[in-house]
Structure 1
Amino acid sequence: MIPIDLLLLFVVASAALAVAPGPDNIFVLTLAAVHGRKAGMLVTLGLCTGLLVHIAAVVLGVAALFKTSVMAFTALKIVGAVYLLYLAWQSFSAGRARLTASSEKPLGAKALYLRGIFMNVTNPKVAIFFLAFLPQFADPVRGSIPLQILILGAAFMLTALIIFSLIAWGAGWIGDWLKKSERAQIYINRLAGTVFVLLACRLLFIKP
């Protein structure tokens, strides 16, 4: 089993990584500000569910493919970037629609949840991060490596869930304040669209 002191060190490192500005927490912050804290929580659940794919990939060794195959890495980058640009287009369209429409059809819970999963799964950097980060805290002397990876992955997921939920809750307050005015709603949608475009560009230019 993993010693408690080492597990606590891992949780602290995970918390620091979750707090540091990155695509996932910016994604949660933006969605919660635009659509409310409930939307942010649903996206957070989706992002954390997506982590299961990366954890399984590390256990099975699949993540190593993205570290050694430029083609596989590039393909996943393009898919993720295209999806982010699609989200940007939706945000910019919503901003324009508010000039002529009084309300916008809210995103469903399932759509928000799946959006979080897709955002996380299509980020190759997460797969490579897990491949490099999790094994550092595993040791064959302590028993099964796959079991240790699963325990560490679960700890990371719980840590990310708590921190991202706090981010969503705080962003919800900002969203409640901004949504009191139609003009603010237009601006925040445009801001969201800009953030998605920047995230897409960042994803396209990262290297294995």
Structure 2
Amino acid sequence: MIDATTLAAYVAIVLGFVFIPGPATLLTVARATSSGTRVGIATGAGVAAGDLVHTVMAVVGLSAIIATSAMLFSIIKYLGAAYLIYLGIRALFERPATDLAAGMRTIGVGAAFRQAILAEVLNPKTALFFLAFLPQFVKPGNGSAVVQLLVLGVLFVLIGLFSTVVFALAAGRLGNFLRRNPTILKWQGKVVGGIYCALGLRLALQDR
């Protein structure tokens, strides 16, 4: 079992990570602002599910393969970047809603959840982060390394989900206000699309 001191230090560091706005936060805020709080929360849940996949990958060693294979890293990186840019271009050219009722759900909860999972799973930087970060808190005297990695990974996912829900709630309320303005309603899709394209380009240009 992980000792209390290690666990407290880990939780404190992870809280610092997840509440500093990053790609997952921007995706969640963009969706919540444009499509409402429920869609924002679904996006955050999708990111959490993707992080859970990365936790399992770190435990079974697949992340190590990505870390040592430049070709595999590049393939996954460009797939993830292409997917984000695809979402961005689609949002940029999507016809804007003409009223509040139509603008409330530009994307469904299920679609937002699935898109967020894919975007997170196809980010090799996240895989490498889990591979490099989690083992630092694994101690031989605390029992099975596999169990410790799983516990640490699940804690990271839960704390990350909490942070994205907080951001989604705040952005969703802001979005309800913004959508009452016809001009903002017209341009919100382009803003969301720009965020997705920027994140995709950022991922494509990242080095290992």
When normalised by structure 2's length, the TM-score is 0.94
1:60-79 aligned within 5 A: 60-79=60-79
Amino acid at match of 1:156: F
Q: CA deviation at 1:141?
A: 2.0
Indicate yes or no: 2:126 matched with 1:122.
Answer: no
Question: What RMSD over aligned residues (CA atoms) do the two structures have, in Å?
Answer: 1.6
Q: CA deviation at 1:78?
A: 1.0
Count of residues paired in the alignment: 206
Alignment partner, residue 179 of structure 1: 179
Structure 2 CA distance, aligned partners of 1:126 and 1:140? 25
Structure 2 CA distance, aligned partners of 1:64 and 1:179? 45
Q: CA deviation at 1:67?
A: 1.1
Q: CA deviation at 1:99?
A: 6.5
1:52-201 aligned within 5 A: 52-94=52-94, 96-98=95-97, 103=102, 106-201=106-201
Gaps of 5+ in 2: none
Structure 1 CA distance, aligned partners of 2:184 and 2:53? 37
| Contact kept? 2:96, 2:185, Cα under 8 Å | no
Amino acid at match of 1:131: L
Q: CA deviation at 1:154?
A: 1.1
Structure 1 segments of 4 or more deviating over 3 A?
A: 96-100, 102-106
Secondary structure at the counterpart of residue 103 of structure 1: helix
Alignment partner, residue 21 of structure 1: 21
Q: CA deviation at 1:181?
A: 2.0
When normalised by structure 1's length, the TM-score is 0.94
Secondary structure at the counterpart of residue 102 of structure 2: coil
Amino acid at match of 1:203: L
